Structure 1
């Protein structure tokens, strides 16, 4: 894919093919579980480009949330 194609927003059909889900909430779950950056539009549907599919985040779930375990000792 060239740079222009990388910035193309996935169609609903492509998103369904990628995630294996037709419902937006399940698509969002699959994308998040696989570290694929996306935004959610005002209709609750995920939007992303091919760049995001081809360059998923390497951040794990534990890095997304603060570690409050030190506060348990108080």
Structure 2
């Protein structure tokens, strides 16, 4: 299947436990509100990996510092 547990897809049962919802649209809303990347399957259920859950895109952008696009020109002295 996959090389590492981070890339393992989260099961439907685990998505239900993590979001607290049985309804797929509420699960999707919960993941979206948390900034977790997922895709929506044809049956409406969200699908994501443990890596996306444990390291959401919304948190990665804060860590990288996307809010400061200019270089520190003072460091060139």
Normalised to the residue count of structure 1, the TM-score between the two structures is 0.72
Q: Which has the larger radius of gyration?
A: 2
Q: What is the number of residues matched between the two proteins?
A: 57
SS, match of residue 16 in structure 1 = helix
- C-alpha distance in structure 2 between counterparts of 1:46 and 1:23, whole Å: 10
Runs of at least 5 residues in structure 1 that lack an aligned partner in the other structure: 60-74
SS, match of residue 37 in structure 1 = coil
- C-alpha distance in structure 1 between counterparts of 2:57 and 2:5, whole Å: 19
Which consecutive aligned stretches of 4+ in structure 1 deviate over 6 angstroms post-superposition? none
Q: CA deviation at 1:12?
A: 1.0
Indicate the residue corresponding to 1:15 in structure 2.
Answer: 15
- C-alpha distance in structure 2 between counterparts of 1:14 and 1:57, whole Å: 20
Normalised to the residue count of structure 2, the TM-score between the two structures is 0.69
Runs of at least 5 residues in structure 2 that lack an aligned partner in the other structure: 62-77
Q: CA deviation at 1:17?
A: 0.8
CA RMSD of aligned residues (A): 1.3
- C-alpha distance in structure 2 between counterparts of 1:43 and 1:25, whole Å: 10
